[in-house]
């Protein structure tokens, strides 16, 4: 990626984004961290992290060395220390007299609720720890977790952590086949699942997928513990399958947590890479907990006594691990956990929940924000959202229009937005504004957190000057970094540490603006090259979405003989938009949008084709599957669409295009 091409017309649009929103004086004064934290971290990075580790965690044995990087890129953080994740998330709060504080306000999809205090949750985790041990799960053993968003998911993860077992959570939307390959790769001894959950008011089964996954012999699973959630009929394998309620009832509520080595494996989480085989990202205990807890406190300005925090991520993804199960509980927060979809039974469900629990910190994904935008501002307007004081975004670049909508419509034009860049591999937030310090810019994650050495470099690994783009890298090890790919240390080195000497390569393109703020431009595999100009899919999507007619857009680079690649855009129109009507309406819409992109970015970025579609293909984690769209754009059969949240989407698009 040469500087000349990246700093061309294509990036002018984002760079012209000049709106800035400084924190109010009151917010800044009361914030958990202030501007001096950057200088403190800069003056001694390791001392800074050692301080965070000791401030946010209770160690059963103090560490003697902050970082051992002698076997790079295999890091050891807080060497010699011992710490128990579950003790930090639970027991110590109860010991500190906070047993009656609500840990989880659970809201089931059908409307059932449960209020779980720290004392309750501690007892449940102790029972589960005893129950798992009684089933032969020992320190270091792997446990596969295939559960919906219910409190038992958190209980299971923390019970594993308590006894030193390594959980591998598999998102409930993954197929039996995907579950089996993950069980096999990690050689899991135990599977914890549920009969099922609820989706849009109807029961949705989970246990049959586990049965199917384990149908063929040759696996390592001895027992399957089944939470009775939706009470649907399920097949039963005597001897192997056990009811959660019975197992927990039989277990003692007394269990003493012992410290585990700081580098003891905490969990494996599979994520997709550029190749077909998912990577088992391994996280360990001390560093992961220290950075997740610190970032949760600093980036969301969490006040555990008064805030009600809600992260909408599923525990099947890293955001659900770090910012539902671990950090909020380690920090003693009160959080909301919601089982269902945002539109069940109506499109105001999220806002109803915010009003009901007086949610003050909301952490969600741009795709959700854009969906809500599409549904219309009148829906959130029906609810009292005045409790909200901080808004977070994660998972993909957030386009300025969605950012402004989030701030104005959800945040009452007041709440700071923290756009947080990180990855399954980084374990915790790496780049984000600090809400009481940073003047935020719509669409930019802006600044590496204190103690984090993120940079943007060119092809040769040289830091690019402000105003230029390149590749996002991390120059120094960080506490919550992945330690390896489970069972494949070579792949770990190749994937992340071989592209640039001594640096972690994240796989994202990024740009520094004239202030040195960082703008994420999407995966480098999503960067297009049109007539020698590099264009970011994100950028064109952002331009399209800035048009009042467009609700959502996905852009791909389709192979083109003349220009290398051509820009092809798929757009969903807004239901409430004032669209042209009449005979030439369709071509008028396309022409208008092409010109709009030309106007926003420059003629080079004008999509060759704009296809109006009813829906976009998305993975179950909400990421647009550009690969499938590329197939359509290049006239190929999109092939395997089974990893989509809704596999029929591609069919709908193909049908629509034939019209
Ligand atoms: C993208 C999710 C822009 C990025 C925590 C990264 C983002 C990938 C942002 C990791 C953001 C995540 N702005 N892009 N704020 N956050 N990404 O592993 O491409 O599911 O590499 O972790 O999501 O996705 P993952």
Domain count, the chain: 2
- The half-sphere exposure of 147 on its side-chain side, counting CA atoms within 13 A, is 27
CB 138 within 8 A of CB 264: no
DSSP per-residue codes, 602-614: -GGGS-SEEEE-S
CA-CA distance, 189 to 167, in Å (whole number)? 10
Contact 445, 512 (CB under 8 A): no
Domain presence at residue 496: no
Classify residue 279: in a domain, yes or no: no
Return d(Cα 367, Cα 377) in angstroms, integer.
16
Residue 468 lies in a domain: no
User: How far, CA to CA in Å, does 252 sit from each of 223, 244, 256?
Assistant: 19, 14, 11
CATH of the domain at 253: 3.40.50.980
Angle subtended at Cα 302 by Cα 297 and Cα 306, rounded to the nearest 5 degrees: 150
pLDDT of residue 533: 60
Number of H helices, E strands in the chain: 23, 30
Ligand 1 atom at shortest distance from the alpha carbon of 317: 20
- The answer to whether 588 and 605 are in contact (CB under 8 A) is no
The per-residue pLDDT for 1 is 32
Residue bearing the CA closest to ligand 1, atom 23: 395
Residue with CA closest to ligand 1 atom 15: 421
The pLDDT of residue 339 is 97
Residues at the binding site are 199-202, 319, 395-397, 419-424, 508, 523, 531, 534, 545, 547, 550
* Environment class of 401 (CB within 10 Å of its CB; exposed 0-12, middle 13-18, buried 19+): buried
Is residue 318 situated within a structural domain? no
What integer pLDDT is reported at residue 9 of this predicted model? Answer: 40
**The pLDDT of residue 237:** 98
In this structure, is residue 623 part of a structural domain?
Answer: yes
Give the Cα separation of 314 and 291 in Å (integer): 20
Residue count of the chain: 659
pLDDT of 13: 55
Residue 596 sits in a domain whose CATH number is: 3.30.300.30
Q: How far apart are CA 571 and CA 524, in angstroms?
A: 22
Mean per-residue pLDDT pooled into runs of 10, the chain (659 residues):
34 65 97 98 98 98 98 98 98 98 98 98 98 98 98 98 97 83 96 96 94 97 98 97 98 98 97 65 98 98 98 94 98 98 96 98 91 94 98 90 96 97 96 98 96 96 95 98 97 94 93 95 69 69 92 88 82 88 91 90 84 86 82 78 68 64
Best CA proximity match to 312, nearest among 431, 416, 395, 436: 395
Report which protein residue has its CA nearest ligand 1's atom 6: 423
User: Which pLDDT does position 656 carry in this prediction?
Assistant: 62
List residues forming the annotated binding site for ATP. Answer: 395-397, 419-424, 508, 523, 534
Is 385 within a domain? no
pLDDT, position 5: 32
Q: 166 vs 156, 269, 271, CA distance in Å?
A: 11, 10, 16
Q: What does the pLDDT read at residue 3?
A: 31
CA of 290 to the centre of ligand 1 (A): 21
Read off φ and ψ for residue 242, nearest 5 degrees.
Answer: -135, 145
CA–centroid distance, 189 to ligand 1, in Å, is 31
Q: Is the residue at 581 inside a domain?
A: yes
Model ipTM value: 1.00
Annotated binding site for CoA: 199-202, 319, 531
Q: Which of 261, 276, 309 is the last residue of a domain?
A: 261
Choice from 278, 423, 623 to test ligand 1 binding pocket (greatest atom count within 8 A of CB): 423
Using the atom order of ligand 1, give the atom closest to the CA of residue 393.
15
Within-domain flag for 360: no
Among 226, 261, 296, the domain-final residue is 261
Atom of ligand 1 nearest to the CA of 522: 19
Q: At which of 261, 288, 304 does a domain end? A: 261
Name the residue range of residue 609's domain.
Answer: 527-658
The DSSP bridge partners found for residue 68 are 76
């Amino acid at each position: 990626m040469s500087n000349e091409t990246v700093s061309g017309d294509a990036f002018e649009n984002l760079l012209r984004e000049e709106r800035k929103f400084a924190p109010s004086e009151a917010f800044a004064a009361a914030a958990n961290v202030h501007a001096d934290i950057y200088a403190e971290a800069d003056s001694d990075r390791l001392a800074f992290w050692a301080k965070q580790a000791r401030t946010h965690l209770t160690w059963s044995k103090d560490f003697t060395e902050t970082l051992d990087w002698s076997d790079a890129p295999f890091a050891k953080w807080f060497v010699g220390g011992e710490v128990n994740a579950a003790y930090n998330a639970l027991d110590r709060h109860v010991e500190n007299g906070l047993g009656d504080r609500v840990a989880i306000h659970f809201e089931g999809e059908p409307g059932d609720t449960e209020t779980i205090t720290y004392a309750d949750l501690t007892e449940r985790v102790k029972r589960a720890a005893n129950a798992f041990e009684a089933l032969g799960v020992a320190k270091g053993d792997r446990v596969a977790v295939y559960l919906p968003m219910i409190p038992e998911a958190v209980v299971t993860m923390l019970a594993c952590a308590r006894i030193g077992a390594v959980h591998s959570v598999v998102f409930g939307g993954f197929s039996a086949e995907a579950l089996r390959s993950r069980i096999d790769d990690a050689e899991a001894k135990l599977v914890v699942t549920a009969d099922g959950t609820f989706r849009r008011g109807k029961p949705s089964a989970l246990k049959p997928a586990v049965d199917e996954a384990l149908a063929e012999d040759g696996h390592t699973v001895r027992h399957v513990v089944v939470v009775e959630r939706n009470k649907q009929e399920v097949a039963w394998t005597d001897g192997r399958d056990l009811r959660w309620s019975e197992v927990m009832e039989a277990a003692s509520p007394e269990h003493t947590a012992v410290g585990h080595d700081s580098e003891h494996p905490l969990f494996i989480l599979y994520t997709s890479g550029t190749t077909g085989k998912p990577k088992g990202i391994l996280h360990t205990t001390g560093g992961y907990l220290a950075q997740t807890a610190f970032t949760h406190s600093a980036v969301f300005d969490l006040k555990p006594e008064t805030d009600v925090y809600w992260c909408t991520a599923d525990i099947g993804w890293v955001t659900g691990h770090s910012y539902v199960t671990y950090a909020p509980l380690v920090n003693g927060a009160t959080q909301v956990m919601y089982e269902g979809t945002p539109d069940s039974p109506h499109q105001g469900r999220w806002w109803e929940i915010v009003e009901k629990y007086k949610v003050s910190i909301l952490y969600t994904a741009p795709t959700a924000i854009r969906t809500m935008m599409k549904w219309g501002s009148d829906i959130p307007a029906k609810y009292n959202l005045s409790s909200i004081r901080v808004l977070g975004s994660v998972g993909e670049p957030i386009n300025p229009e969605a950012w402004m909508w989030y701030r104005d419509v959800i945040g009452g034009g007041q709440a700071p937005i923290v756009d947080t860049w990180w990855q399954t591999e980084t374990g915790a937030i790496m780049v984000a504004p600090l809400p009481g310090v940073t003047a935020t810019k719509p669409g930019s994650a802006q600044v590496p957190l204190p103690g984090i050495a993120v940079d943007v470099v060119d092809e040769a690994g040289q830091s690019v000057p402000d105003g230029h783009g390149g590749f996002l890298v991390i120059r120094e090890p960080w506490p919550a970094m992945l330690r390896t790919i489970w069972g494949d240390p070579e792949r770990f080195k190749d994937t992340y540490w071989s592209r640039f000497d001594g640096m972690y390569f994240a796989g994202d393109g990024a740009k520094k603006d004239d202030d040195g703020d960082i703008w994420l431009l999407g995966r480098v595999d999503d960067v297009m090259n049109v007539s020698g100009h590099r264009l970011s899919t994100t950028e064109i999507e952002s331009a399209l979405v800035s048009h009042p007619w467009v609700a959502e857009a996905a852009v791909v680079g389709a192979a083109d003989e003349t220009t290398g690649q051509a820009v092809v855009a798929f757009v969903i129109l807004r239901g409430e938009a004032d669209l042209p009507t009449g005979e030439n309406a369709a071509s008028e819409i396309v022409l208008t949008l092409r010109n709009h992109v030309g106007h926003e970015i420059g003629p080079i970025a004008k999509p060759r084709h704009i296809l109006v579609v009813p829906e976009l293909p998305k993975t179950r984690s909400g990421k647009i599957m550009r690969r499938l769209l590329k197939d359509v754009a290049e006239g190929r059969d999109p092939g395997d669409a089974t990893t989509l949240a809704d596999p029929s989407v591609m069919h709908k698009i193909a049908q629509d295009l034939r019209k």
